[in-house]
Amino acid sequence: MEVDEVYSREQLDEAEGKQIEALKARSQQPIPDPDEWLEEELKRNILLTSVDALLDWARRSSLWSVVCFPACCAFEFIATAASRFDISRFGMEIIRASPRQADLMITAGTLTWKMAPQVKRIYDQMAEPKWVIAMGACAISGGIFASSYSVVPGYNRIIPVDVYVPGCPPRPEALLYGIRTLQKKIAKRSLINQGR
Amino acid sequence: MVIKTEPFVVNFGPAHPSTHGVFRMRMTLDGEVIVDMEPVFGYLHRGIEKLAEERTYTGCIPLTDRLDYTASMTNNFAYVLAVEKLAHVPVPARAEYLRVIMAELQRIASHLIAVGTFLNDCGAFMTPVLYMLREREKILDLFEMACGQRLTYNYMRVGGLSQDIPDEFVPALKKFVQVMPGWIDEYDQLLKENEILLARTKGVGILPKELAINISASGPVLRASGVKWDIRRADPYSIYERFDFDIPTGAVGDCYDRYRVRIEEMRQSVRILKQALKGLPRGKVRSDVPHLFRPPVGEAYGHIEAPRGELGFYLVSDGSIAPYRFHVRASTLINLTALRDMMVGWKVADAIITFGSIDICMAEVDR
Amino acid sequence: MTVPISGKEIARQIEKKFPQGIIESSPQALVVDGKSLLEIAAYLKNTRGLDFDYLAAITAVDYLDYFEVIYQLTSLKHNHSLVVKTRCYGRESPSLPSVVGLWRGADFQEREIYDLFGIIFEGHPNLRRIVLWDGFEGHPLRKDYLRW
CA-CA distance, A159 to A163, in Å (whole number)? 12
| DSSP secondary structure, B215-281, as one string | TT--THHHHHTT----HHHHS--TTGGG--------SS-SHHHHHHHHHHHHHHHHHHHHHHHHT--
pTM of the model: 0.91
Chains contacting B (3+ CB pairs below 8 angstroms): A, C
Exposure string for B124-154, b = 16+ CB within 10 A, e = fewer: beeebbebbbebbbbbbebbeebbebbbbbb
SS3 state at B79? helix
Multiple choice CATH, B8-366, 2.60.40.680, 1.10.645.10, 2.60.40.2310, 3.40.190.10: 1.10.645.10
| B214 contacts on C by Cβ (under 8 Å) | 53, 103-105
B43, B45, B70 ranked by CB distance to A75: nearest: B70
Examine residue C140 and state whether it is found in any structural domain, yes or no. Answer: no
Q: What is the pLDDT of residue A1?
A: 45
- Choose the mutation target among B317, B329, B334, B364 for the interface with C, i.e. most C CBs under 10 Å: B334
Examine residue C135 and state whether it is found in any structural domain, yes or no. Answer: no
End-to-end CA, chain A: 60
User: Residue ranges of the domains in chain B?
Assistant: 8-366
Which residues 66-105 in chain C show a CB within 8 A of chain B? 70, 72, 76, 79, 83, 103-105
Residue in B306, B269, B276 with CA at minimum distance from that of residue B139: B269
ipTM for this prediction: 0.91
B35, B42, B51 ranked by CB distance to A1: nearest: B35
Residue in C77, C105, C133 with CA at minimum distance from that of residue B333: C105
| B316 contacts on C by Cβ (under 8 Å) | 61
End-to-end CA, chain B: 52
Position C137 pLDDT exceeds 70:
yes
- Tens of pLDDT along chain B (367 residues) come to 677 778 888 888 888 877 778 888 888 888 888 988 888 888 899 889 989 988 899 998 999 888 888 899 999 999 999 999 988 889 999 999 999 999 999 999 999 999 988 988 888 878 888 888 888 999 999 999 998 888 888 899 998 899 899 999 999 999 999 999 999 898 888 887 888 888 888 888 888 998 999 988 999 999 999 888 899 988 888 889 889 899 999 888 889 999 999 999 999 999 999 999 998 898 888 888 888 888 899 889 999 999 999 999 999 998 888 999 999 999 999 998 888 888 888 998 888 899 889 888 888 888 8
Q: Do C108 and B216 touch (CB under 8 A)?
A: no
C125 touching chain A per CB within 8 A: no
The domain total for chain C is: 1
Q: How many distinct helices (H) and strands (E) make up chain B?
A: 15, 8
In order of A64, B7, B31, the CA distances from B4 in angstroms are 42, 10, 11
Examine residue C109 and state whether it is found in any structural domain, yes or no. Answer: no
- Gap from B114 CA to chain C (nearest CA, Å): 23
Position A169 pLDDT exceeds 80:
yes
SS3 state at A51? helix
Q: What is the pLDDT of residue A196?
A: 39
Range of the domain at C49: 3-98
Are the CB atoms for C35 and C52 separated by under 8 Å?
Answer: no
Q: What is the pLDDT of residue A4?
A: 54
Half-sphere exposure (Cβ direction) of A101: Cα atoms closer than 13 Å: 8
- Give me the total of CB pairs closer than 8 Å, taking one residue from chain B and one from chain C: 79
Residue in B306, B353, B308 with CA at minimum distance from that of residue B332: B308
A10, A16, A147 ranked by CB distance to C133: nearest: A16
The mean pLDDT of A21-35, rounded to a whole number, is 83
C2 touching chain B per CB within 8 A: yes
Examine residue C89 and state whether it is found in any structural domain, yes or no. Answer: yes
CATH number, domain containing residue C81: 3.30.460.80
Examine residue C115 and state whether it is found in any structural domain, yes or no. Answer: no
SS3 state at B298? strand
A18, A21, A149 ranked by CB distance to C147: nearest: A149
